[in-house]
Amino acid sequence: MKHRTFFWFILPTLSAMVLFIALPIVSVAVQSLYIEHEQVLVVTESCGPFGCDETTTIDTEATAALRSEQPLGRFNGLGTYTNRAHLAFSEIGEAWRTTESLGDFFNELLNLPFYWALAFTLTYTFVVTPFVIVLGLAIAVGVNNLPRLFKGPTIFISLLPMIVTPLVGALILFWMVDADGVIGALLQRLFNDPSLSLKATTSLNWVMLIVYGIWSSLPFSFIVFYAGLQTVPHDTMEAAMIDGATKWQRMIHVVVPHLMPLVVFITLIQLMDNFRVFEPIISFQAEAHARSLSWIIYNDLIAAGNPLYGSAGATSLLTIIGVAFLLTPVLIRTWRDFNRKSV
Amino acid sequence: MATKAQSRITPLTILSVAFVIIWVIIASFPFLWTAWGSFKVQGDFFSKADWTNALIGTNTIAETGSAFTTAGYYGAWVQEEFWRAVLNTSIVVFFTVTISLTFGTLGGYALARSGYKYAFWLLMAALVFRAMPHITLVSGYLLPFFEWNIWGILPTTIIVLVAINQPFTLWMLHSFFLNIPKDLDESAMVDGCTRFQAFRHVIIPVMWPGVITTGLFSFLLAYNDFTVTRMLLSQENETMIPKIASFLGSTQVQGNVMFAVAAVVSATVPLIVLIIFFQRQIVSGLTAGAVKG
């Protein structure tokens, strides 16, 4: 295709992506260098018969004028990145010097909001992803063994947790595990502990969110593996059978290697999607115990009255760097493949 | 074509079938339970004392005289004006899907037919864009949108959703157009068509299966979105999902939770209908990117 024709065909989609994905990233970077204006204070001296009094008042008009004049705020350089709410270098240094053991140090570290959110986001991502892959494969093999009649309905039901809106799906589960809900009440009876609540402790909150994550992502890996199973070469399977391989051995030595490219694909998609975990925290109202990077950005943006654009921008940029780290292995791989092809 | 040896029942088969049965229950039970419970009063839906209350509706009978009540639906749709949110969602979803498919088919076709290196780099850039958490992009929009006074209205949200949708749409349609033989449009061009005419008269008539599949996923993205619609729409333009979230803000007052339950069930029904009609396309769409590598 000629360059000129290509340009006209790609123009709409490219301009949409540049305007609303690439430029916002730049805008986020710029925002993160600025910080909100301080309120303009006016010191007035009023002198009475008993001496002079100094009173400090907020000049609301001047503050508003300043804010509308320079909506970005005042320049702060990298100050936002290093403050307590983000990378918190000085606090880390302090903790390193004052704590005795490594465990204490990590406790101090997790008290810092950014590292606490990072810890949850990474735990969620790296626990949910492997579970989704292994369980998805198990379900795919199971469904493949079913009589044809049952396959369609099973796939229909399996799609539900994935297709349904994340916020809504998480809410449905949340109501069930509520202390008064059906699962919550059942657990209380099982453990004979009427005060048991999944919402009360941090670890149970994390477990609950991770279980939701697995529940909602399983269908995706199941469907992909199921489609992959249909393409397993018949001859190889027969050859393995003639050689006396059991069902389990065929599974491990023929089917799994055949599905390996799909594992890479699912891992990629799952890492991307799980790293931005956000809606379940809203639905489960778990922000007291579990915060993700996306959640702290959201929290900055909805801050009553005056959104903290600077703070949100800094966290956003750090998140983007995190995503870049996750994606690097895949991008390098693709780049090598591409070069090999073009040689 | 299962041979006798393959279909022999082994412990492994029984185990895997049992596993599938457990999964089916885990996947479907929450939906059935919530749908059934949405016709009860709060005392039954959250019945700590006896879970059978939620099934037979003891409190519902006591309070309303019948085992089923549509009070939750009335409260959500009429009292809280959920219909307005439904209307907004329909507008947003319709335009998002239409515009992103138009942009996506043009771009995907160009990427599939161009052999140059930059086409590859564009696809890679799209992959990176696809990985961006939506909230990071939203934090970049807010300030400019406030400045330009375009915050809170539906068109802004629609164009943002279109843009966020593009990377995925491009990848999907690109791999779909690769499967349409090149000879088809090239022979049209030999006969004197321009590239655009070839696209218009030869490619568009045969591209519908791929477009429908991609459209389903665009639909899901726009319909399921919470981050963008929550942050970029003013209260009167709110769509369904942020509206449901705002129901939760009002604490668990008697009855109010049932509004949210009814709204949740109402928002899920269209998706279930969608799967019933388009199950085959959804499955093929999920696997398209994967199986072709």
Reading chain B (293 residues) residue by residue, the pLDDT tens digits are 445 445 567 787 888 889 999 999 999 999 999 999 999 888 888 877 777 788 888 888 888 888 888 888 988 898 888 999 999 999 999 999 999 999 999 999 999 988 788 888 898 899 889 888 999 999 999 888 988 999 889 999 999 999 999 999 998 898 889 888 888 888 888 988 888 888 888 888 888 888 999 999 999 999 999 999 999 998 889 999 999 988 876 655 666 788 889 999 999 999 999 999 998 888 888 877 655 44
Neighboring chain B residues of A317 at a CB cutoff of 8 Å: 136
* Mutation for testing the A interface, residue in B42, B139, B175, B214 having most A CBs under 10 Å: B139
B210-B214-B216 Cα angle (round to 5): 120
pLDDT below 70 — which residues of chain A? Answer: 304-305, 341-343
- Which two structure tokens, joined as six digits, stand for B19? 């596993």
Asked if A313's CB is within 8 angstroms of B140's CB, the reply is yes
pLDDT the model gives residue B2: 47
Distance from CA of A209 to the nearest CA of B (A): 16
Question: What are the DSSP calls for B70-132, one per residue?
Answer: -HHHHIIIIIS-HHHHHHHHHHHHHHHHHHHHHHHHHHHHHHHH--SHHHHHHHHHHHHHHHS
Interface of B with A in 99-138 (CB under 8 A): 102-104, 106-107, 109-111, 113-117, 119-120, 122, 124-138
The token pair that represents A192 in the structure block: 């004979």
pLDDT for B255: 62
CA distances (Å), origin A11, targets A17, A19, B9, B20, B215 = 10, 12, 58, 47, 20
- Cα–Cα distance, B155 to B151 (Å, whole number): 10
Which residue in the block uniquely carries the two structure tokens 């999920």?
B286
Place of tokens 């922000």: A287
Nearest to B136 among A180, A285, A297 (CB): A297
- Per-residue confidence (pLDDT) for residue B13, from 0 to 100: 80
Taking Cα atoms as reference points, which of B118, B132, B218, B129 lies closest to residue B173?
Answer: B218
Residues of chain B with Cβ-Cβ distance to A178 below 8 Å are 46
Three-state secondary structure along B179-245?
Answer: CCCHHHHHHHHHCCCCHHHHHHHHHHHHCHHHHHHHHHHHHHHHHHCCHHHHHHECHHHCCHHHHHH
**Spatial separation of the C-alpha atoms in residues B137 and B47, rounded to whole Å:** 42
Is A28 in Cβ contact with B33 (below 8 Å)? no
Residues of chain A with CATH 1.10.3720.10: 113-229+266-342
Chain A residues closer than 8 Å to B175 by CB: none
Domain A113-229+266-342 belongs to what architecture? Orthogonal Bundle (1.10)
The per-residue pLDDT for B293 is 40
DSSP string across A82-133: HSTTTT-HHHHHHHHHH-SSHHHHHHHHHTSHHHHHHHHHHHHHHHHHHHHH
> For testing the chain B interface, which of A17, A67, A196 should be mutated: the one with the most B CBs within 10 Å?
A17
Residue B141 and residue A157: Cβ atoms within 8 Å?
no
- CB contact (8 A) between residue B264 and residue A327: no
State residue B252's pLDDT score.
58
Smallest CA–CA separation between B106 and chain A, in Å? 5
pLDDT value of residue B116:
85
pLDDT of residue A292: 94
Q: Do B12 and A160 touch (CB under 8 A)?
A: no
Contacts of B231 in chain A (CB under 8 A): 298, 301-302
Nearest to B30 among A173, A218, A278 (CB): A173
Going along chain B from its start, the domains and CATH numbers come out as 9-74 (no CATH), 81-291 (1.10.3720.10)
Please give the pLDDT value at position B120: 86
In order, the DSSP letters of A146-157 are S-HHHHHHHHHH
